[in-house]
Structure 1
């Protein structure tokens, strides 16, 4: 009875305090805010109920049975008080990380439908972005994930509507992107969490509940090519230029990327608006084209109006782009904390005085908090924890005045995890989650600080990701420390020569002694070396970490190194991640990439985009990362006809060895190697040989002891009619030996113990054919097979015993291996 009376009092108080903000709200928004305020008022009790509900739903799962043992869970839930339940749970179930649940997730991905993590079958897996820690990870995704996303958006929109009311039926210019999904061995759909949400019924409900609709149809969002989607988002955003109520994307980076692209695309967009067409070079995907063309119609007057504005904006370096082109937009909305903060300066350049509202705090694993103070600028944003989303714990983190020497993997001392109700203002914590989707006391890796409380729920500042630190000796600088230092250098750069930083990243170089930090800048504009030197010094002395300051004074850490990369470098990094399955909506430029530099798939990327080596091939062999081909200039290298460059050299890196550095393997490859022409088969390193100009039609194996390449005898088939090797095959296709054929491309991939060569040839300068050559590395004789490829009918050539196909047109010029 008393609890009902208390609730009645709460409702009455809320009802009696309706102010002018609520007068601007519809009933649905008012109900959302009233619901949250009641949850926040009773946050401790709601958290205990959330934990109770999670255990009740998922009791009997393999993971919980492993830790709860013989405890009668049903009796525990019925008889335990809230405090007792939380105490039992946290004393028996240990803190966990992704490595603890990875075996369970792999079994689920492989088709195991038994209750491993949840009682409800998991049919969908999310992929984390992989841009902060270097690799993507499986995370469970259920209907609850979409529902909490919808709840977050509705709650945040309700608070924004009090300050920035929008017109019913208005449009939202949303720069949102789905990545392509795929199926696991067990038939589960895998994709990014944003991709799952954009395809869900909840996404459609969100648009109805927030009274606005995105400018772009689903075919643009799910197109799978972010460049084409961005073009269509911009085009349709301008078609609805007067109806756009606000502009949004998941991250501030996506907004900056879109408007930077607009500076190059605006003339084509104006042409499309004028003619009611869609540029065939900019957008090629049939479904996307069809959906957009159904919306377009010729509008010369709108095109002329936009064109006039763009000419004016171009003259002012695109300042105030957003309010100029979308005059009725009330605000910008995106995540602007953490690694997104460096993009705020450029976003403000485009937005002028238009409000930038920071979006809400969550992760692939769970939503955490909502921005209920949209008036605050992104630099002062806090996130109020929603106590129904997950069961939250917080690990107190403490810094020591002096750290022991050696290699540091973290920069905090940990306390015992505490529940939400026991956190303290001003204290930093690591977030721990227990979710409805099967994560139990899961360490998220985010460092937050309690800024205040809203009623009884904490308001959090996001500080940084944990363990992403620059360190050489006793120094420890976080991503946030790096951002502050780069901002100092950026200000000096702007004052001295009006250039600006496009993007940046860093790593700790411990390959040479003394170790030192390396910061990479991509800049827009021109800067003299003298100015860059001053910027470098400014950043070097702007690090305030005590360990760094002391180490620089004693010269146990060397001077900071500033490297300027060519324009478009960070665009290549984006393309790399998106090409490997990350969604544009989830992309975050890696800032502090000590770990990232040590993973094979990214070593190749950063050497190619940033380093001094022009990389041709990257692979892992015998536990080491090998970067092969191109030209590397190193001190002490032997002079040669290329002017002090080691032609076709290689470098090796051991990621498992502490303090490892890149070792130059001088002249390991004395050949020009196109991409993907060196592969690992078992423990053997195989190459197609020097095929930059003309392939000799053989395979070579590397002898690590002698450091030479040897031709595999049974692969050498040039001029040997008795075997169906690649050269003989081309003679067979042409019908006579003297026929002229020219190789246009060739790429190689290993599948098991066989090498597959996809090759394109021009025959007698008239027709083109695509051929697959297959070499069996274990065969003692007749190791080659060849197939002519096309998409048309198949014929069987009995004389040669090979499958022949007619060829009407050339197929693709690249191949890769996909595990199905």
Structure 2
């Protein structure tokens, strides 16, 4: 079995291919699993369970469904240089780092040289779907703001890097076949610039110079596009100055950026600089700034599902009514599905899983109608196949990824719990469509960070030790992701009380600003490396805030939850607040606010 070949510029052929894949979803899935098991049956991991066999039923009954912790020892052996066929029959060429974490470090997924072909195939399938609904995209460019992340080299010499960094640095991206959808305003050199500030400045400058050619504006995540708007708000004067003079600012030191901009910023353009200045410096609202700055834009393409849904209202404000298009569902582990109705409202977005991308299974949630899907338990050992899921039900996604022949490439994971909770919303032919509900156990997320309840609790336990010299005790806490400003930041609500030695002293009067700021920093320092990278390197998350609330606040929060149907006997304080009404109760009782005074430590380091 090999990847189907077709001309990526032939929209009709692309749509036909998608129809064939979804119509024959069951057959394609069986072929995928057979290829995976046949190719890798002699690997150490598979043979320990299947003893060289490749039977589907044996696979279902003998091979366990695993989390990252279960396979981490195998991956660490690869990272340290073990070249035996541990989990793959093909040589491992790099490790893809996930935004999910384990023990404070990013997860690592082994990958091969062929994987990039599958990603390219997937990206090419997005084109005919979008062209089907939006006419004329071939007559202009896309201003997509894309960035690379830091890389590390393991002790074995393998590179470990995020999946998109791997793709952008590959020849598949840099030598992508001519396709009008792949024509960007940003030269590759600006995308590959390791300094995020220089990269952002140069990409925005290119987009402004070519503003009348831009038909699509976007980034991978909604948070990244909003950071770009905030960057434009802070640097429009500098950008106008460069455009007016036809000369790139001296502080741009990256050689690739300077060389690329010499081909874009060819001569002074005072008329364009005046137009940008009128829009940005007129003193009016920035509502609709995307449409005003790039007047021919037909859509804004960003992921606005999952944790990114919190940015929808802000994007709608800046976009001026342009459609918010979320085209794809993917992760470091695998590229999963495509939005076949790209112009649907963000709240209605569903993804059709493409059956030749991996072998998909689904763990049904026992309490799939519970409000808190993350706490829904799954039915043990009853994973169902792709074509057997039921409309309206909630499932946790399980993937088995593969290689099979030179045309295939994907990380090798066998019955791996991705951690995503999905709801079945319909079917396209035989392939189910899913709405992304949320990540399992994740309580806070601003950008690519994913903080779970255990990580938050551990950070709380470390920080609250600093309160003891003041005679203060942390009696309860909760949190929420504040995205009302750019960048967003974590907010912790703390209810404090005095110990028995100081019963009559008001909490507010005994708070020490320096020590409370140290508490904020201590929490940040205790969170995982992805969060700390976003804070220190990417600047995509703002300083963590602690809001101290008066005594009795969490009793009021419990009263609200009970009045809305929660059981008093089973009530637990929600560790992340989603309800506006609950947030109002907390905010109305705040007596003091403190922010982290500095960024936490972070350095990309090789594995030990």
Say yes or no: TM over 0.5. Answer: yes
Alignment of 1:605-684 (within 5 A): 609-611=544-546
Instruction: Give the drift of 1:58.
Output: 1.6
> 2:591: which partner in 1?
none
1:63 correspondence with 2:39: no
> 2:21: which partner in 1?
39
> 1:351: which partner in 2?
319
1:422 correspondence with 2:388: yes
Residue 476 (structure 2) aligned to one of 498, 503, 515: 515
CA distance in 2, matches of 1:278, 1:239: 12
> 1:226: which partner in 2?
196
Residue 151 (structure 2) aligned to one of 181, 184, 191: 181
CA distance in 2, matches of 1:266, 1:214: 21
CA distance in 2, matches of 1:39, 1:819: 40
1:140 correspondence with 2:114: no
> 1:542: which partner in 2?
none
Instruction: Give the drift of 1:378.
Output: 1.3
1:340 correspondence with 2:322: no
Alignment of 1:453-492 (within 5 A): 453-469=427-443
Q: Cα distance 1:275–1:588, how it changes in 2: closer, same or farther (>3 A)?
A: closer
Given that 2:147 and 2:192 are in contact with CA atoms closer than 8 Å, whether structure 1 keeps it comes out as yes
1:284 correspondence with 2:253: yes
1:361 correspondence with 2:329: yes
CA distance in 2, matches of 1:395, 1:247: 37
CA distance in 2, matches of 1:402, 1:267: 51
CA distance in 2, matches of 1:117, 1:180: 26
Structure 2 unaligned runs (5+)?
1-6, 403-410, 447-455, 465-472, 487-492, 494-515, 552-572, 574-596
Q: Cα distance 1:464–1:200, how it changes in 2: closer, same or farther (>3 A)?
A: same
> 1:685: which partner in 2?
none
3-state SS of 2:212 partner = coil
CA distance in 2, matches of 1:434, 1:815: 32
Given that 2:374 and 2:439 are in contact with CA atoms closer than 8 Å, whether structure 1 keeps it comes out as no
* 1:345-398 deviation per Cα after TM superposition (whole angstroms, max 9, x unaligned): 111111112111113111100011101101201110000010000000000002
Residue 141 (structure 2) aligned to one of 167, 171, 175: 171
Instruction: Give the drift of 1:182.
Output: 2.7
Q: Cα distance 1:612–1:453, how it changes in 2: closer, same or farther (>3 A)?
A: closer
> 1:391: which partner in 2?
359
Given that 2:142 and 2:181 are in contact with CA atoms closer than 8 Å, whether structure 1 keeps it comes out as no
* 1:692-716 deviation per Cα after TM superposition (whole angstroms, max 9, x unaligned): xxxxxxxxxxxxxxxxxxxxxxxxx
Q: Cα distance 1:27–1:154, how it changes in 2: closer, same or farther (>3 A)?
A: closer
CA distance in 2, matches of 1:817, 1:127: 13
CA distance in 2, matches of 1:370, 1:220: 28
Given that 2:79 and 2:156 are in contact with CA atoms closer than 8 Å, whether structure 1 keeps it comes out as yes
1:296 correspondence with 2:262: no
Instruction: Give the drift of 1:430.
Output: 0.4
More helix by percentage: 2
Given that 2:105 and 2:529 are in contact with CA atoms closer than 8 Å, whether structure 1 keeps it comes out as no
1:250 correspondence with 2:225: no
Q: Cα distance 1:428–1:508, how it changes in 2: closer, same or farther (>3 A)?
A: farther
* 1:299-349 deviation per Cα after TM superposition (whole angstroms, max 9, x unaligned): 22222222222234x412x11111111111111111111110111111111
Instruction: Give the drift of 1:611.
Output: 4.4
Given that 2:141 and 2:180 are in contact with CA atoms closer than 8 Å, whether structure 1 keeps it comes out as no
3-state SS of 1:515 partner = strand
CA distance in 2, matches of 1:400, 1:455: 25
Structure 1 unaligned runs (5+)?
1-24, 77-84, 471-477, 480-504, 526-535, 537-563, 590-605, 614-634, 636-658, 660-673, 677-748, 750-813
* 1:604-653 deviation per Cα after TM superposition (whole angstroms, max 9, x unaligned): xx9x743489xxxxxxxxxxxxxxxxxxxxx9xxxxxxxxxxxxxxxxxx
CA distance in 1, matches of 2:474, 2:480: 17
CA distance in 1, matches of 2:537, 2:431: 32
Given that 1:319 and 1:352 are in contact with CA atoms closer than 8 Å, whether structure 2 keeps it comes out as yes
3-state SS of 2:183 partner = strand
Q: Cα distance 1:106–1:222, how it changes in 2: closer, same or farther (>3 A)?
A: same
Instruction: Give the drift of 1:143.
Output: 3.5
Alignment of 1:194-593 (within 5 A): 194-204=164-174, 206=176, 208-281=178-251, 283-297=252-266, 298-312=268-282, 314-316=283-285, 318-399=286-367, 410-415=375-380, 416-436=382-402, 437-469=411-443, 515-519=476-480, 521=482, 577=530, 580=533
Count of residue pairs the alignment pairs up: 494
Given that 2:361 and 2:397 are in contact with CA atoms closer than 8 Å, whether structure 1 keeps it comes out as yes
Q: Cα distance 1:100–1:134, how it changes in 2: closer, same or farther (>3 A)?
A: same
Given that 1:169 and 1:212 are in contact with CA atoms closer than 8 Å, whether structure 2 keeps it comes out as no
Given that 2:75 and 2:108 are in contact with CA atoms closer than 8 Å, whether structure 1 keeps it comes out as yes
CA distance in 1, matches of 2:532, 2:195: 9
Given that 1:61 and 1:117 are in contact with CA atoms closer than 8 Å, whether structure 2 keeps it comes out as yes
3-state SS of 1:387 partner = coil
CA distance in 2, matches of 1:198, 1:816: 19
**Higher RCO structure (Cα 8 Å, ≥6 apart):** 2
Q: Cα distance 1:144–1:817, how it changes in 2: closer, same or farther (>3 A)?
A: closer
Given that 2:66 and 2:415 are in contact with CA atoms closer than 8 Å, whether structure 1 keeps it comes out as yes
Given that 2:185 and 2:207 are in contact with CA atoms closer than 8 Å, whether structure 1 keeps it comes out as yes
* 1:134-179 deviation per Cα after TM superposition (whole angstroms, max 9, x unaligned): 5411112224432222222211221110111334463211111011
Q: Cα distance 1:66–1:156, how it changes in 2: closer, same or farther (>3 A)?
A: same
Q: Cα distance 1:324–1:131, how it changes in 2: closer, same or farther (>3 A)?
A: farther
* 1:408-434 deviation per Cα after TM superposition (whole angstroms, max 9, x unaligned): 994424351111111001110000000
CA distance in 1, matches of 2:598, 2:540: 27
CA distance in 2, matches of 1:816, 1:334: 27
Task: Tell me the TM-score normalized by structure 1.
Answer: 0.55
